Structure 1
C-alpha cells in the first residue's frame, strides 16, 4: 500500500514543503532550488561547484543550469580558481548578499507552518538528518 511507503511519505512531504515556500520565494524572485544554492553560498561565502554539489546532493549537470540562471540574475559570480583552473568558484554578488536579508524570515515561517513545537521540530530534523546520512552512505557504498 502507498500509505506504508516511507519514500512516498517523504516525497509528498517534500512537495508540500515546496508549496509552503513558494509564496515567500516568489517575493524574492527565487525558485526553491536557487534558494538552496543561495543558502549554501550565504553560509560559506564562496565554494566550488563540487562543494556546492556535495552540500546539496546534486551533480554538476543539475547545478550548472541553476548556476547560470543565478548568474544571469546577477546574484552570483562564477570564476576560475587562480590556484587550480579546473575549479570554478561560486560566490554571491552584492545583489546576492542583499537578498539574504529579504530571505531571513523564511526559515521561521517554515517552522511555523509545520505546526510543530520547537522540541518536536528539532527532534524530527535530527531524525531526518540521520536517515539522510544512512541512506546516502548506503548509496555511496553501493556505487563502489
Structure 2
C-alpha cells in the first residue's frame, strides 16, 4: 500500500519553487543558487563571509566563489574592517533583495490559491511546528 510522505511533497514544492523563481531571478541578473546569499545579506547587513557561510551551511570555497561573483556583478560590497570583511548590498543588490521577497510571496499566492485563508494559516503553523527541531543554522531564521 502506498503511504504519503512529507519528503515527497517537499521535493515537489522545491521543484515548483525553483522553476518559478528561475525566470523571475533572471530578470534581476541572479540565479537560484545566489538567492539565499542576497536574502541573508539583506537581512543581516555588515555580516562577515564567515557568518554567512556558517548560517547557510555552505562549503567555504563555494561560499567565497559566490561572494566574489556577487561582488563582481555589482550586487554586494565586500569592505575590509579590521581583520574581517563586511558584506552589504549595493543598490542593485537591494533591488534583487526586494525582488526576492516578492518572489516568495508571489509563489505562495500562486501555490496556495486552492486554500482558504484559514487553511493557509493552519498549513504555515503546522510547517513551522514541523521545522522546530531543525537546527537553527539550517533554518536561517
- The two structures share one fold, judged by TM-score above 0.5: yes
Report the TM-score, using the length of structure 2 for normalisation.
0.73
Residue 131 of structure 1: aligned partner: 130
CA RMSD of aligned residues (A): 2.9
Structure 2 residue runs without a partner (length 5+): none
2:64 and 2:124 mapped to 1: Cα distance?
A: 29
The answer on 1:110 being equivalent to 2:110 is: no
TM-fit CA distance, 1:74: 0.7
TM-fit CA distance, 1:101: 4.2
TM-fit CA distance, 1:98: 3.3
1:123 and 1:58 mapped to 2: Cα distance?
A: 32
Structure 1 residue runs without a partner (length 5+): 140-144
Q: Which has the higher helix share?
A: 1
The DSSP-based 3-state class of the residue aligned with 1:51 is: helix
2:58 and 2:68 mapped to 1: Cα distance?
A: 15
Instruction: Flag the structure with more relative contact order, 1 or 2, with Cα contacts below 8 A and sequence separation at least 6.
Output: 2
**Bigger mean CA deviation after superposition, 3-12 or 109-118:** 3-12
Report the TM-score, using the length of structure 1 for normalisation.
0.72
Say how many residue pairs are matched: 135
The DSSP-based 3-state class of the residue aligned with 1:47 is: coil
